[in-house]
Amino acid sequence: MTKLTAFSDMPTLADPSATVGGSRTEGMEADLTSVLDALRRNRWLILTIVCLSLCLGIIVIARSEMLYRASATIQIEAQSQKILSTDENHPDGGSQEADRFLQTQLSLLKSRALTELVVDQLNLANRIQATGRSGEPLSFEQRKELAITKLQSEMTVTLPRDSSVAEITIVDGDPNFTAAAANAFAEMFINYNLRRRFGETDYARQFLEGELAKAKKRLEASEKAVVEYARQSRLVDASGSTSGGDGIRMLTASSMTDVNTALTQAQIVRIGAERRWQEAEHTPPLDLPEVLANPVIQQLLQERARTLADYNKDRQIFKPDFPATKDKLSEISTLENEAQKIGEQVRNGLRNNYLIAVQQEKALTDKLEGLKSLTLTEQNKGIEYNILRREVDTNRLMYDGLLQRFKEVSASAGVTANNISIVDHAQVPSRPFTPRVTLTLASSLGTGLLLAFFIVAMRAKLDDILRSPVDVIERLGIPLLATIPLRPRGISALEMIEGSVLSEAFWSLHIALDRTVPKVPPRSVAFTSSRASQSKSMCAYAAALNFARSGKRVLLIDADLRRPSLHRLLDLPNEYGLAGVLTQQCTLKDAVRSTTFRGLSVMTAGQPTRNPAELFAEPALPALLKSLQQGYDMVVVDSPAVLLLSDAVVVATNTASSVFVIEANRTRAEDARSAIHRLQENGAKMAGSILTEYNQVLSLYKPSGP
């Protein structure tokens, strides 16, 4: 026997070892199969939606305006370069301050004032139509306002994070205009920034000039006031300083200070002179240091010493009364007298010095006492004078500071530092920025696919048709005995059952039924469905044939008296059959016919003369089925459809088990559940279900061995 690789491995609930979702891999394969099946069923719908989406994308491209984009980049530094030594570099305030500064610059770039400058430079007001929508003429100001609004809508400024390079982008239908406008924005922003800074400098210069004039007037007034007060108070500044404060000295106070200093020196001199006189007063003149230090005394003493030496030498030779000796002695006496006289004069000089020092000290003391009273009077006047002088000094400091700042501002007015520079000028774009044909078509295709998948998913969610074995198991809740593939074209039902490569599916049905149907008599099974024409007759015949091939005596009964089909399937006469036996128009022997297959007999439906519902309502059918089950190893009944009829219920309740046949892609789950529920309510024993006409690629069913 030929073995097949498909359907023989499909899980069914008739096999205890095979369950739905028995493993994660099987569940994933089942989900993938369901998805692929849904896509295959809706392939024309998907194709239609995708084509419509692409057509819509083409229409959008055709109707879209061709726009060009040009960008210029500028660098914005938080600190400008220092040009003059007086320029101040503001300290870095941190990342937050830098971000705030950059955002401020971006706001200035987007400002109306800058846009208006660009509009004026490019003369954009003349590009606006001279008439409005209603035909009324537009003034120049109205056209300029429209140009500003349009340019602001076409301009965008972007600043990447952690960067000081901003990008100015213009989008318009004219490529030359986009480049010109972007470059104009960059250049005008630099000029605008310089103008703002120059305006600030000019304002500061004018302000300083006004304040400087005021300070000058205050300084002149304060100087006049101090001079006038000094003249009226007869105060003379003896310090010679132009600054006030502690450096100011009045003439009387200065004189008293000088007298006090001179008095101190005189007292020192007097004390020294008094000490020297006291020492000299009781000391021999020739013993005084001042006398001994006198050159004349020193010369006289030296002369006396020589003369005395000569005298002593002559005394050794001559007598004292020797004239020469007398002369020398007289000379010595004369020299001593002269020295004594000079010594007295020196001592008298020390006395005179002492007296003079005393007189000078007394004179200075008298002078100091006289100046004290004058100084006290002058100090009272000096308080007001110092106040006026301090005001002069304050005004002078203010004037000097303002004058210096005015010079600095005037010097920097023409060399304003700039912290903005152009990095890249905008180039004329060579191709439009939008519409993007490739991107638009890709977006249309993606949107169409997403919409199609969404619609397919919604249809699958709302779809109640049983299409796959997973649908049967999940939605009906009964075992799946077998799955019968879609019959290929050119193959009859008998060829498919009896000798094709697809007969393996029917053999799996036989194995499942053999496990499900009771092993002991009576052994019978009824095949039914929710509606007619769902291949239940083919399944009943295949089951009976495979039971016969396994060595059993099998009777196949066509119990569908309303739409019999077994006699056409097996090419048998239908003159006598089940209807004749139930109405006793023929015998059982006349109704049962043998087939070419050993062990398989068939009872066709026959020609009913009465309503089938009335025939099945009589006790003849249950008695007939009971007797036939005693005479055969297996009785297979091709039962009518369940919905709207009671025939199938009678047949199912009088057989050992029932099999529910479902045709894929035709049977609704709700109909199948209602039919199964009706059978089970009336006591029928459901062995399981069969999915027929399941659409799979036939090339998958390849022989795996003999």
Q: What is the pLDDT of residues 382-400, one digit of tens each?
A: 777 788 888 888 888 888 8
CATH number, domain containing residue 531: 3.40.50.300
Residue 76 is assigned to a structural domain of this protein: no
443 & 529 share domain: no
276 & 404 share domain: yes
The mean of the pLDDT values for the chain is 78
pLDDT in tens, 251-292: 676 777 888 888 888 888 888 877 777 777 777 776 677 767
Residues facing 603 on adjacent strands: 557, 592
Domain total for the chain? 3
Instruction: Tell me the two tokens of residue 56.
Output: 């819509």
Tell me which of 342 and 529 has the higher pLDDT: 529
Name the residue range of residue 449's domain: 42-64+435-462
450 & 537 share domain: no
Residue 601 reports pLDDT greater than 90: yes
CB atoms near residue 292 (< 10 Å): 14
449 & 530 share domain: no
Which pLDDT score is estimated for 605? Answer: 92
Q: 92-101, 586-595, 676-685 — which is least confidently predicted?
A: 92-101
Geometric angle at alpha carbon 509, from 506 and 510, rounded to 5°: 95
Residue 91 is assigned to a structural domain of this protein: no
Residue 656 is assigned to a structural domain of this protein: yes
Residue 636 is assigned to a structural domain of this protein: yes
Instruction: Tell me the two tokens of residue 351.
Output: 């006395």
574 & 531 share domain: yes
User: Residue 553 — pLDDT band, cuts 50, 70, 90?
Assistant: very high
444 & 354 share domain: no
User: Residue 700 — pLDDT band, cuts 50, 70, 90?
Assistant: very low
Tell me which of 650 and 281 has the higher pLDDT: 650
Place of tokens 């004594």: 340
Which pLDDT score is estimated for 249? Answer: 56
371 & 456 share domain: no
Residue 644 is assigned to a structural domain of this protein: yes
269 & 343 share domain: yes
320 & 448 share domain: no
Residue 1 reports pLDDT greater than 50: no
Residue 625 is assigned to a structural domain of this protein: yes
pTM (two decimals) = 0.46
Residue 633 is assigned to a structural domain of this protein: yes
651 & 532 share domain: yes
Residue 168 is assigned to a structural domain of this protein: no
558 & 631 share domain: yes
Q: 2-16, 48-62, 181-195, 599-613 — which is least confidently predicted?
A: 2-16
Which of 462, 477, 497 terminates a domain? The answer is 462
SS3 content of the chain, % helix, strand, coil (to 5): 60, 10, 30
384 & 449 share domain: no
Place of tokens 């026997």: 1
Which pLDDT score is estimated for 102? Answer: 82
CA distances from 356 to 265, 346, 567, 570 (A): 13, 15, 178, 177
Report which of 524, 519, 517 is spatially closest to residue 634, judged by C-alpha positions. Answer: 524
DSSP state of 682: T
